[in-house]
Structure 1
Amino acid sequence: MSTTQSERLRGLLEPLVLSKELDLEEIEVTPVGRKRVLRIIVDSDEGVLLDACADLSREISDKLDETDAMGPGEYTLEVSSPGADRPLTRHRHYVRATGRLVRAQLREGGDLVARIVGVDDDGLDLEVPGVKGRKPTSRRLAFDEIAKARVEIEFSRKDKKEEEA
């Protein structure tokens, strides 16, 4: 998608998304045969419910029908929340992942798997799981030390209510 089209779509759709108290994370147009797929990824601190995606999809569709932002030709509109394994690229992504286990690829080399216990403007406070029965350790990681990061999916993760009890 050209930068001009991306900027036009963001300028058109971001106020609508923000009015629903959601963040517009990504806009992607992908050619599929003779058609295109327009993917809109939205998120919030509380997550995004399926009904909210459906309602927003209808409103975005109406807004796009009023304009020529998608240009000529057919397209399919998809509105969804980010997947569990999406990359953490913005400060708010790390804040939303507080309490979650993440895998960070470090700029100096190597990977670090740890739980985010705090986030500030400069970096992360982490709890590194203990190995072979050892207790977890604390570690500070500055944002500029991180090359890539994403949430690790945990199948046996305790929820917040269990941890508080």
Structure 2
Amino acid sequence: MKAAERIIQAIVVLARIGAGLAFLLLIIAVLVQVVGRTTGNSPVWSEELTRFALLYLVAFGAGLSLRTGDMVNVDVISENLPGKLPWILRLISAAATAGLALYLLPHAWRFTAIGQMQSSPALGLKMSYVHFTVFLFLALLALFAVLRVIAMLTGAEDGKPEKALDAPEI
């Protein structure tokens, strides 16, 4: 395995770990809500924590979804075009995704910085930790899109999404 492949695999593993931890936190927060509502004293912070965990889940999962093809694709027409047109459209799509995400990153960072002056009502958490999910979402989406563009231009892949590990063939 080449060094570049190891780096990409490390990024994928870190994103999966982040998504897994966010999902675990989401499960715990929802469980606390359900048990609390059954007993009549649901803690107010559980609702807020659920939303924050969901934001981190989306932030970590977006790039992974781009990689595996789990994002919404409208490729019925494009993949049936003749010759290299499908490849060209996949390249343009990945480049446009990367470009838009990279363009929005500085604005997302400004949004994150605004959160320093605010705190969440129930948890008292600095909102910059919550607002950071927008930056993380865009950064990981840009990273995975750039990796796809590079892989396509070097011939390492054709730009088609990887199949999810456990996805059944349809």
Higher RCO (CA < 8 A, seq sep 6+): 2
Q: TM-score, normalised by structure 2?
A: 0.26
Name the structure where helix makes up a greater proportion of residues.
2
Q: TM-score, normalised by structure 1?
A: 0.26
Name the structure where strand makes up a greater proportion of residues.
1
